[in-house]
Structure 1
Amino acid sequence: MVLHSGADDLGLLDDFRGPARSGGRAINPWRAIVGAFGVGLAVGTGLLLLPVARSGPGGASLVEALFTATSALCVTGLAVVDTATYWSPFGQAVVLLLIQAGGFGIMTLASMLGLLVSRRLDLRSRLLATAETKSLGMGDVRAVLLGVARISLVVEAVVALVLTVRFATTYGEPLGRAVWLGVFHAVSAFNNAGFALFSDSLVGFATDPWISVTVAVAVILGSLGFPVIIELLRQHRRPRRWSIHTRLTLVMTGVLLVGGSLFVTVAEWRNPLTLGALDPAGRVLAGFFQGVMPRTAGFNSVDTGAMNDGTLLATDVLMFIGGGSAGTAGGIKVGTFAVLLLAILSELRGDPDVNLFDRRLAPEAIRQALSVALLSVAVVIGATLVIATTSAWDLDEVLFEVVSAFATVGLSTGITADLAVGHQLLLVVLMFAGRLGPVTFVSALVLRQHGRLFHLPEGRPLIG
């Protein structure tokens, strides 16, 4: 989540104490990113309001169009209408384009188009792209942009091919329909959106490894983050040269995937409404699938609303943590969670420094991680209180929907469509804030950093 500003990374920012300037006009990269997403949201909402976007008579309501556009652009997956039946092929295509645009990042896509047209990036474009992609240096932005495009298209193409063949050969879908299903779910999976063209998401494929595993792998790859994927491709034979960010992301992703999958499988093994209705092999596969999705995407292969209370709470935690930075997953990110966890362990051991992979973490990184986590907790608690005190839904259901929206996951207990309009609009704000809030907040913190020439006398209040 951190936009580095060291001398070897963003040297221009060493003497930078405010927004960059281009042609005498102030540039705030984070504000430009928010503004671009706002424009994309307005365009998407307008397209979904067209009568041609709906499969039935008339057009969608403003709330339906706004909610769907936000969920797609913020790669969330929550829905107030059934994507498979409510939207026409045109409307589904709009949703698909919004997912792809949100996955790339509006600013990343805009910078890439500028690169293709002019073969060069100016300072404004580089700052915007760096803020969105977390590239390690201004000189790496071009490679990152092209790498993002290549990786996304290749992964989505491979996943689409596998899914298309499976839909056509095993489920008897006509070739055109199979291709559309393959492409839509490939883009939705890699971008961690969780939108599906089946009314029950992927419940009908719970025991099909070709569908479940393929979608899960695409989701995991998208959740790692583009910097990690690019570094793995460049340095796959030299793991000792991997950056701290890559190693930390891989370790935490592995721990959370294994832990989450095991917990869901064990907790739901005998639940007749979820895993209990499947054969043992199917339970293992569905448990793995449900263990992958909470941290990243909103697909489900069993009824999420029928899960045990303990499983829902564990899912809340996994959704809140999220995936890797600069990827398509949401949450506070595994790096933020790991830094906080290491800080706690260091304090328990009495160590003055927080160390990771033979490196001492910068105090700024710890403060930023703490700021992101606490602000995220405050947002989730505040929104949960508002909905829980003004509706008849149970607290665990409300908390699940709020965390899912803010972490841009998209899993649901089934109450989103039945919430009051005001509550749905609150979820819209949460999805937008969850997608852009952490990156813009941390970027603002980094760009505002400056050194002090003095330190005040030390004080120590009582803690605990």
Structure 2
Amino acid sequence: MKTLIHPARAVALGFLAAIMAGVFLLMLPAARSAGVPAPLTVALFTSVSAVCVTGMAIVDTGSYWSGFGQAVIMFLFQLGGFGLMTAATLLGLMVNRSPRLRTRMMTQTETRLLGLGDISSVAKIVFKVAVLCQLLLFAVLTLRLHWGHGMDWRAAAWNGLFHAASSFNNAGFSTHADGMVRYAGDALVLVPVMLAIVIGGIGFPVLHDLRYRWRDPRHWSLHTKLTLTGSLILLLGGFIAIVALEWNNPHSLGPLSLFGKLLNGMFMSVSARTAGFHTVDIGALTPETWAVHYILMFIGGGSGGTAGGVKVGTIAILALLVIAEAKGHTDTEAFGRRVGASAQRQAITVLVLGSLIVAFGTVILLRLTHFPTDQVIFEVIAAFGSTGLSTGITAELPAAGQLLLAVLMFIGRVGTITLATSLVLGERRMPYRYPEEHPIVG
């Protein structure tokens, strides 16, 4: 009798297989521009960053990789962002309208839904939204790059397609050496990109809920309400903090017009939630703004989407728990619903383990490098949160440091999914309970 692979383990193995395939393809001579070296470290780091939709790079994507290499990178972050198991279910639906339970459970691990009956429906929503959003952004960017930035149609189409896919998948890869800096004053580029980042990162369970219940917010699930409310608070809070801290910084928002400051402030707030694009020099931001980025990158986006981090829902549950405890309430409540005790334990576990991973990663990277602590912390959280932003030290790190970041990217993208699903699927009720006692807290 065949032993079924645990869905969480299957997702991890699927991501690992995609990374190895990416390394093989990127090591091919056709993947690099003529005359550039072919170290295994570069191919491995790039493949991990692409599959884990992080966007960190140790070489310039546009000049180091050939057109074929850039296509490979785009395919990898499409695969990683879209979800390997979601793709598997879609393929199954094309052949058989009733996907097997095992496949549905694997897809459940990636989409983070608890109801197996919703998997096929969510998979269809994922496919429709992903294709429609990327095609619309591709068209908008292509037209704008041609008419507004003087690119010929071929270059505009390729750059538009690459950035559309990178935006929706929250991948952060750009074909430009300066990222999105050249578009800092162009709202017709930045606004559509921001919309794609938010849609891709909000989480497919939320999109599924909105698709069928958008007319009646009262019947939205608690997950949808917490994710949307938390995301709005983080986006607006990050925007206000960044604009206030960088308003007079001559190396970032200082030289821009009022509209430019507001536009780029919002773009930084959106991008810091795991997209990884930048329109200003991240290394020139104030330490206080870096600290704001720590928070936004660590939290990330919604569960079951293309975003990374410990997720908005996790932090929302913990915030509600703190509020309930401060008020002396025995139940954690929101929007007329009670948050289950198991969800609270899972949120605490994800936050604690995520914090420990960041702490250990920071200590190790500090031992391997001579860079200041604040820059190292930024790099570690950006890797773990699948954000890809950098203060400019990624390419200067030793090989061991870059390998550490690759491990953090993999853990950040796959580990939180695996952990959360393992907690859900591994939960069991014990036939006995020990006597209760209350240790002293605080």
Determine which of 57, 60, 80 is the counterpart of 2:58.
80
- 2:142 partner amino acid: T
Task: Report the equivalent of 2:296.
Answer: 318
For the Cα contact (< 8 Å) 1:45–1:65, is it kept in 2? Answer: yes
Deviation digits for residues 161-209 of structure 1 (CA, Å, limit 9, x no counterpart): 1100000111111111111111110110000001011101001111100
Query: Contact between 2:368 and 2:398, CA under 8 Å: does it hold in 1?
Result: no
Q: Which runs of structure 2 are paired with 1:37-186 in the superposition (5 Å)?
A: 37-57=15-35, 59-186=37-164
How far apart, in 1, do the equivalents of 2:207 and 2:134 lie?
14
Which of 261, 265, 289 does residue 243 from structure 2 map onto? 265
Structure 1: how far apart are the matches of 2:344 and 2:424?
Answer: 13
1:359-378 equivalence runs, <5 A: 359-378=337-356
Q: Distance in 2 between matches of 1:138 and 1:359?
A: 22
Contact 1:194 1:297 survives alignment (8 Å): yes
User: Residue type of the partner of 2:430?
Assistant: R
CA positional deviation for 1:136: 4.5
How many residues are paired up? 442
Moved more, 326-335 or 113-122: 113-122
Q: Tell me which amino acid in the other structure corresponds to 1:222.
A: G
Match of residue 365, structure 2, among 361, 367, 387: 387
* Alpha-carbon distance in 1 for matches of 2:29, 2:91: 31
* Distance in structure 2 (CA, Å) of the matches to 1:47 and 1:239: 46
User: Is it true that 1:328 corresponds to 2:306 in the alignment?
Assistant: yes
- Unmatched tracts of structure 1, length 5 or more: 1-22
| Deviation per residue, 1:235-265 (Å, 9 max, x gap) | 1111111110111111111111011011101
CA contact (8 A) 2:314 2:351 kept: yes
- Give the match for residue 240 of structure 1: 218
Quick check: 114-123 or 194-203, which moved more?
114-123
Contact 1:408–1:434 (Cα < 8 Å) also in 2: yes
Q: Are 2:404 and 1:426 aligned?
A: yes
1:90 and 1:106 map into 2 onto residues whose CA distance is: 22
The farther-off stretch of 276-285 and 243-252 is 276-285
Distance, in Å, in 1 between the alignment partners of 2:114 and 2:425 is 15
Using the TM superposition, give the Cα deviation of residue 56 of structure 1 relative to its aligned residue in structure 2, in angstroms.
Answer: 2.8
Match of 1:351 in 2: 329
- The one-letter code sitting in structure 1 at the alignment partner of 2:235 is L
Contact 1:265 1:283 in 2 (8 A): yes
Secondary structure (helix, strand or coil) at the match of 1:276 reads coil
Aligned partner of residue 214 in structure 2, secondary structure:
coil
Aligned-residue offset at 1:452: 1.9
Per-residue deviation, residues 97-137 of structure 1 (Å, max 9, x unmatched):
00100111111112211221233311210110111112342
Give the TM-score of the pair, scaled to structure 2. 0.98
> Does residue 1:285 correspond to 2:298, yes or no?
no
Aligned-residue RMSD, C-alpha: 1.1
- TM-score under structure 1 normalisation? 0.94
SS in structure 2 opposite 1:270?
A: coil
Q: Give the equivalent residue in structure 2 for 1:4.
A: none
Q: What aligned pairs does 1:395-410 form with structure 2 within 5 A after superposition?
A: 395-410=373-388
Corresponding residue number in structure 1 for 2:206: 228
Tell me the distance in 1 between the aligned counterparts of 2:14 and 2:8.
10
Q: In 2, Cα distance between the equivalents of 1:409 and 1:47? A: 24
Structure 1 residue 59: deviation in Å? 4.8
Question: 3-state SS of the aligned residue for 2:12?
Answer: helix
Partner residue in 1 for 2:185? 207
- Partner Cα separation in structure 1 for residue 11 and residue 37 of structure 2: 30
Structure 1 residue matching 2:4: 3-state secondary structure: strand
Deviation at 1:278, TM superposition (A): 1.2
Preserved contact between residue 52 and residue 59 of structure 1 (Cα < 8 Å) = no
Residues 404 and 411, structure 1, Cα contact 8 Å, conserved in 2 = yes
Distance (whole Å) between structure 1 residues aligned to residue 346 and residue 437 of structure 2:
21
Q: Deviations over 1:364-383 (max 9, x none)?
A: 11110000000000000001
Conserved 8 A contact 1:80-1:416: yes
Distance of 1:123 and 1:97 partners within structure 2: 28
Give 1:298 deviation, angstroms: 0.4
User: Which runs of 5 or more structure 2 residues have no equivalent in the other structure?
Assistant: none
Contact 1:49 1:59 in 2 (8 A): no
Q: Does 1:301 align with 2:276?
A: no
2-structure distance, mates of 1:142, 1:394: 48
Q: Quick one: which amino acid aligns to residue 212 of structure 1?
A: L
Amino acid aligned to 2:351: A
For 1:28 and 1:204, how far apart are their aligned partners in 2? 46
Question: Is the partner of 1:295 in helix, strand or coil?
Answer: coil
Match of 2:228 among 246, 250, 257: 250
Any idea what the Cα deviations from partners look like across 1:396-446, whole Å, max 9, x if unmatched? 000000000000001110100000000100000000000011111111111
- Do 2:36 and 2:64's aligned partners in 1 also have CA atoms closer than 8 Å? no
Partner residue of 1:11?
none
